[in-house]
Amino acid sequence: MKLLLRLLILYILFLIQTAIIRPQFDFVLLGLVIFTLHDSSIFSLILAVWGGILLGLINPIYFGFHIIIITLIAFACNNIRRYIYKYKVYFITILFIALLFKYIVFLIFLRSNQSFFVWFLSTVIILTVAIPLESLILKVFYK
């Protein structure tokens, strides 16, 4: 039941992400990082594959690419949390590194045409929304 609720939350974040046309916000990645920092490895990988499938639905040409990138980010976040995740500052740092990694990989491999300024603006907005969303998810799922 816990896993189904997390999958549903990621799906709702995906719907919110696809409803906003420009700039493109990574709400699925935000939700995934929040869940990954607090859940077990198997839950994190299942959620990552689900998030990759959802993001692959937006652009089916690169369907498997999203699954691989999101799963790598979830695996890295889950392993990093054992060593450094203690305060909100670390959460913001981990989220920023995940967003930067995704942007660089998309820029190199998919020849993304998103400018750095647009990415930076969406990243600042995501980082602003991250703390209240994490607090809400912590209160609901991790009492």
Tokens of 75: 């695996």
Are 44 and 29 within 8 A, CB to CB? no
Classify residue 24 by its DSSP letter.
P
The reported pTM is 0.87
pLDDT tens by residue, the chain, 143 residues:
888 999 999 999 999 988 887 777 889 999 999 999 888 889 999 999 999 999 888 888 878 888 999 999 999 988 887 777 666 678 888 899 999 998 888 888 877 777 888 888 888 989 998 989 888 888 888 77
Q: What is the CA radius of gyration of the chain?
A: 14
- Ordered by start, the domain boundaries in the chain are 27-141
